[in-house]
Amino acid sequence: MESLFIEATEATPKINLNSDTGIFLLAERSLPENAFEFYQPILKWLNEYAEEPKEETIVNFKLDYFTTSSAKQIIKIFLSLEELNNTSKVSINWYYKKEDVDMYAIGLKYSKLVNLNLQLKEF
Amino acid sequence: MSSITGDLDYALELFRDMQRENLSYIYRGIFSQKITDNILSLAEGNLTNVGESSTVKKRVFSIMVEGLQNITRHQDENLINEKDRTGIFVIQRKGDNYFITTGNLIDKNHITKLTGQLNKINSLEKDELKKYYKEVLNETEISKKGGAGLGLIEMARKSGNKLAFDFTEVTDTYSFFYLHLEISRSKDDARKDTDKEVNESLKSIKGLHKILNKENILLIFNGIFNQDSLINLLTIIEGHMSTKINLRKRVFNIMVEMLQNIVKHAGKGTVESGNPGIFFISEKNNLYLLNTGNYVLNSKVEELRKKIDYVNELNETDLNNFYNKSLFNFEIDSSKESGLGLIEIRLKSQNKLKYTISKVDEQFSFFALQTGVN
């Protein structure tokens, strides 16, 4: 299957889902007018990837900021990754900037809320 | 969790005044290139969204550009500290006219020369003004400050009216220079005098400026809210804030959620342009007060009230639990709603949300929301 790449804008994150390497990236900031719509193709892509995944999947979150409506979509990504974890070894790196207490706290919260191997990493 | 000291009554009063006056947009602070660009696109977008004609739009826009250049040119002077460099930019629409006001500090030594220039410009008729522009353009070598009053002549020509101006003493060395222009939306060839009306309107701006200084209000936007204006507003505030990252981020977070609430839920708007509303932000001793005002359908008022009262009553632990529960509640998950915004605003501000809802007519109420972040 084809990889999915979406360039960042001032309101939407950079998305790089590489089906060849099984390494995914969500970066920068996410405040789209319509988060539900923006994340639809990403969720759909993940479903298709799960049919024939790499042995290992690494998901890097390097987000500066995201809205609550994006948070809900990100949770849906996590749930989809939980599913994927049955067929591919999924690990998640949640990156935060050193001084960014907020992004660290969110990562910590998510590590408790979802049943996945989630590492907090400074960048 | 503490309670905020901000005065919602004052906020509401401002809302009401702005509604009546149809005041559009005020920025008070440092004018960086990035901030200036966003001020311009915010105003331009708003002119488009209210359906202004392209002729008027062009005239208003070019006067704004000149006015903003005036401010940025003068704020570079070696003034004592940042606060003293605070300029002001105001654009208002009242009935059939637009008013643009710029204000900046100037060295008192420049007052006589500037007054002379302005009086000269005001004494000229339309054709004479055109001639004078060419004269000045040919004669003067453009100085470092790009000036010689060309900008002023251009503004006078574009507005078609005389320039109202005033000086207010600030220190022994500096005065605040106000320039106030009226732009008629209907094409009218005769130049109007700086009549009583315009001077009155400048006087009211000076009064408003006093309040803005006292409350340290950074920005007021009364206009159409959509994704574009949201991004412009965020960029302006982001560029303005020099506080430490965590406070800055929390203000940013809350601001996005509050503005998105207007974009997604406010009434009286259109799908094509956006929803009408008001936003303003002030800062005192590192307490930021964020205020929004917008219309809501009367039929939605009860639900809104319940939601806010509910999150206001929760303690931090319960709020966090409620947030997590709502995060996984996919019954509320659409392009319109995630059910998290108000909880997030309450969590991030760590203060209770202040609000009022007042009935406007049979269909709509006005909803004012204030969040304090410190």
Where residue B199 falls among pLDDT bands split at 50, 70, 90? confident
Q: How many residues does chain A have?
A: 123
Residue-level pLDDT at B2? 38
Decide if pLDDT at A115 tops 50. Answer: yes
Instruction: Give A92→chain B minimum CA distance, Å.
Output: 19
Structure tokens at B312: 């206001």
Structure tokens at B369: 């929301």
Q: What are phi and psi of B186, to 5 degrees?
A: -90, 140
B335 and A101: CB-CB below 8 Å? Answer: no
Q: Is residue B326 within 8 Å of B343, Cβ to Cβ? A: yes
What is the SS3 assignment for B198?
helix
Q: Is residue B221 within 8 Å of B279, Cβ to Cβ? A: yes
Q: In what order do the strands lie in the sheet with B87-94?
A: B164-169, B174-184, B97-107, B87-94, B23-29, B217-225, B275-284, B287-297, B364-373, B354-359
- pLDDT one-digit tens code per residue, A52-85: 999 999 999 999 999 999 999 999 999 999 999 9
Cα three-residue angle A79-B335-B306, rounded to 5 degrees: 95
Q: Which residues share a beta bridge with A119?
A: A93
Instruction: Give B336→chain A minimum CA distance, Å.
Output: 7
From the candidates B37, B255, B340, which should be mutated to test the interface with A, based on the most A CB atoms within 10 A?
Answer: B340
- Residues of A in Cβ contact (< 8 Å) with B340: 68-69, 71-72
d(CA B73, CA B261): 37
What is the SS3 assignment for B290?
strand
> Which residue type occupies B132?
Y
Domain hosting A70: range is 4-122
Decide if pLDDT at B83 tops 70. Answer: no
- pLDDT one-digit tens code per residue, B144-188: 455 568 889 999 999 888 899 999 998 888 899 999 999 988 765
Residue-level pLDDT at B247? 87
The distance in angstroms from the start CA to the end CA of chain B is 11
Kind and range of the H or E element at B372? strand B364-373
Name the domain count of chain A: 1
CATH number at A61 reads 3.30.750
Q: How many other CB atoms are found less than 10 A from the CB of residue B124?
A: 18
d(CA A69, CA B337): 7
- Report the residue from B226, B257, B330 with minimal CB separation from A68: B257
Residue listed under structure tokens 């759909």 = A44
A33 and B257: CB-CB below 8 Å? Answer: no
- Report the residue from A36, A65, A109 with minimal CB separation from B252: A65
Instruction: Give A2→chain B minimum CA distance, Å.
Output: 27
- Residues of B in Cβ contact (< 8 Å) with A33: 226-227, 260, 263
Question: Comparing B31-215 with B247-373, is the CATH topology the same?
Answer: yes
Q: Where would I find the H helices in chain B? A: 8-21, 33-49, 54-75, 111-123, 126-139, 150-159, 196-215, 227-240, 245-265, 298-313, 316-327, 341-349
- pLDDT one-digit tens code per residue, B328-365: 999 999 988 888 999 999 999 988 999 999 888 999 99
- pLDDT one-digit tens code per residue, A16-55: 999 999 999 999 999 999 999 999 999 999 999 999 999 9
B227 and A33: CB-CB below 8 Å? Answer: yes
Q: How many residues does chain B have?
A: 374
- pLDDT one-digit tens code per residue, B234-265: 999 988 887 778 888 899 999 999 999 999 99
CA-closest candidate to residue B224, choices B280, B252, B258, B262: B262
- Reported CATH class of domain B31-215: alpha beta
- Residues of A in Cβ contact (< 8 Å) with B256: 31, 67
- Residue ranges covered by each domain of chain B: 31-215, 247-373
pTM for this predicted structure: 0.88
β-pair type (A4-6, B23-29):
unpaired
Where residue B4 falls among pLDDT bands split at 50, 70, 90? very low
Chain B CA closest to residue A66 = B253
Q: Give the torsion sign (CA, A44, A65, B44, B225).
A: positive
Residue-level pLDDT at B67? 92
Kind and range of the H or E element at B278? strand B275-284
Residue-level pLDDT at B13? 67
- Reported CATH class of domain B247-373: alpha beta
